[in-house]
């Protein structure tokens, strides 16, 4: 029997050219998180299934989780998201930790989904969360950080938008205004969450099954038509919905102050599929017509620590996936060409006696932080340049018997075409030539 060379369905083999792209994304994520003072953390790949049962919601637990019994009869799952692990870890230390707690991670996650563009069974997700931050300021910081990350790739408000809603507002509408029980409200949440994925007729048909009264049906449709913060403001006033439900004024004022409003849009259908959100909820959408999907989702959650017997501690955060981010950058032409590796110099020799001096030079250069690859055999001149090109080397050394006798090395910069011969022991001049 021969085995398939392909990876398990919905997962990727990250060959060097793909891993380079992923590392490029991770580098920007690390830099941005640290610019805002977030500290890296990590957790285990496996968790007990109960951790997700407690708050993540039925869809994730019943349909998307990879679960199995371990040898000790414990029911475990490969992490499908990071937030429950984060909450479990924060529950251990939050009493002693200075607040707010600002943490980030880039874990790989697995969900049993139907693989398609932008959706795989394994993806890496940039998670950024803040606990114990002042309301509105914490939300603002999280939005600002997400925008700063996308801006660092050259993206702006023409490329993406942040669709925003608030769970308290939807709760108030469903429970207080429409008098729905918690159970029915949750079902309506699920339907609302699928609004963009369903054809309108199917959505309305499913809405019928809720048998809403005429007034409540009209109110719900009026709510669904809201498409800006101005619309929302009018709706809240007309229906006497108190600003205590969502005092978005302060949050909105901050975003105005820092010219971020052009990125934000109110969207009544954003409620998020995960059950733990209690406050603001948002998704970052790609504006490219071929790629209309969320590359990031997040929100505020007040009560996640309660499941560990701790007092509530408000948190806000988001997850931004590597698959969707790459699609986003690619569709807008914002991904640099990373098809080749990057090396500073390829050191080669054309005669056997050249190997030792070349290896010595390589060691001295590496000790000074120069990225060096060496040929491991003698190379003819016509082989050297194509090899340097493939290895992404900026410079190349040529060392034949002439140079060997006089303890010299010729270096050529492949970008400028400049070639200079140096004494082999003139390390500082060699480094200057390579790194300039």
Residues near ligand HAM, by CB under 6 A = 81-83, 111, 113, 119-120, 123, 125, 127, 129, 274, 294-299, 317-321, 323-324
Compare residues 120 and 173 and give the one whose CB is closer to ligand HAM: 120
Nearer Cβ to ligand HAM (142/375): 142
Nearest to 219 by CA among 287, 253, 268: 268
Q: How far is the CB of 361 from ligand HAM (least distance, A)?
A: 45
Of the pair 123, 394, the CB lying nearest ligand HAM is at 123
**Least distance (Å) between residue 38 CB and ligand HAM:** 12
In the complex, minimum distance from the CB of residue 257 to ligand HAM, in angstroms, rounded to a whole number = 24
Spatial separation of the C-alpha atoms in residues 349 and 401, rounded to whole Å: 9
Closer to ligand HAM by Cβ: residue 274 or 430: 274
Rank residues 50 and 122 by Cβ distance to ligand HAM and give the closer one. 122
How far is the C-alpha of 339 from the C-alpha of 84, rounded, in Å? 37
> What distance in Å separates the CA atoms of residue 175 and residue 11, rounded to the nearest whole number?
41
Residues listed for the chain? 436
Q: How far is the CB of 200 from ligand HAM (least distance, A)?
A: 23
Contact 297, 276 (CB under 8 A): no
CB of residue 211 to ligand HAM, shortest distance in Å: 30
User: Which is closer to ligand HAM, CB of 298 or CB of 357?
Assistant: 298
Give the nearest distance from C-beta 146 to ligand HAM in angstroms. Answer: 11
Query: What is the number of the residue whose Cβ is closest to ligand HAM?
Result: 321
CB nearer ligand HAM, residue 18 or residue 242: 18
CB of 299 to ligand HAM, least distance (A): 6
How far apart are the C-alpha atoms of 375 and 387, rounded to whole Å? 9
Minimum distance, C-beta of residue 250 to ligand HAM, in the bound complex (Å): 21
Taking the complex as a whole, the smallest distance from the CB of residue 351 to ligand HAM amounts, in Å, to 53
Nearer to ligand HAM by Cβ, of 235 and 318: the residue is: 318
From the CB of 121, what's the least distance to ligand HAM, in Å? 7
Q: Which is nearer to ligand HAM, 81 or 141 (CB)?
A: 81
Residue closer to ligand HAM by CB (options 52, 433) is 52
């Amino acid at each position: 029997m021969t085995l398939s060379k392909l990876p398990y369905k919905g997962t990727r083999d990250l060959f060097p050219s793909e891993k380079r792209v992923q590392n490029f994304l991770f580098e920007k994520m690390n830099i941005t998180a640290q610019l805002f003072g977030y500290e890296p953390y990590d957790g285990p790949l496996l968790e007990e299934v109960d951790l997700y049962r407690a708050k993540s919601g039925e869809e994730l637990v019943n349909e998307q989780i990879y679960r199995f019994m371990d040898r000790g009869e414990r029911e475990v799952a490969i992490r499908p998201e990071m937030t429950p692990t984060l909450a479990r870890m924060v529950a251990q230390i939050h009493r002693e930790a200075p607040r707010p707690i600002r943490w980030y991670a880039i874990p790989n996650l697995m969900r049993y989904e139907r693989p398609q563009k932008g959706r795989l069974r394994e993806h890496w997700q940039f998670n950024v969360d803040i606990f114990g931050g002042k309301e509105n300021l914490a939300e603002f910081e999280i939005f600002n950080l997400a925008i700063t990350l996308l801006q660092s790739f050259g993206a702006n408000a023409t490329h993406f938008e942040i669709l925003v809603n608030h769970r308290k507002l939807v709760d108030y509408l469903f429970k207080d205004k429409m008098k729905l029980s918690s159970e029915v409200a949750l079902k309506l949440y699920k339907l609302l969450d699928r609004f963009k994925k369903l054809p309108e007729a199917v959505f309305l048909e499913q809405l019928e099954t809720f048998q809403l009264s005429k007034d409540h049906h009209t109110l719900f449709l009026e709510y669904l038509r809201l498409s800006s913060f101005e619309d929302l403001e009018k709706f809240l006033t007309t229906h006497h919905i108190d600003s205590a439900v969502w005092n978005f004024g302060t949050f909105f004022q901050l975003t105005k102050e820092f010219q971020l409003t052009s990125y934000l849009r109110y969207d009544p259908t954003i409620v998020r599929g995960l059950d733990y959100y209690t406050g603001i909820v948002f998704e970052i959408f790609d504006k490219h017509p071929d790629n209309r999907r969320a590359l990031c989702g997040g929100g505020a959650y007040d009560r996640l620590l309660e499941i560990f017997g701790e007092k509530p501690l408000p948190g806000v955060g988001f997850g931004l996936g590597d698959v969707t981010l790459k699609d986003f950058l690619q569709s807008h032409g914002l991904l640099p060409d990373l098809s080749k590796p990057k090396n500073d110099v390829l050191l080669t020799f054309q005669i056997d006696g050249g190997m030792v001096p070349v290896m010595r030079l390589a060691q001295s250069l590496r000790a000074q932080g120069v990225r060096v690859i060496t040929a491991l055999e003698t190379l003819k001149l016509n082989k050297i340049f194509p090899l340097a090109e493939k290895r992404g080397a900026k410079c190349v050394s040529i060392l034949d018997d002439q140079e060997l006798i006089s303890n010299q090395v010729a270096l050529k910069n492949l970008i400028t075409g400049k070639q200079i011969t140096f004494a082999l022991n003139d390390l500082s001049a060699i480094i200057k030539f390579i790194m300039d």
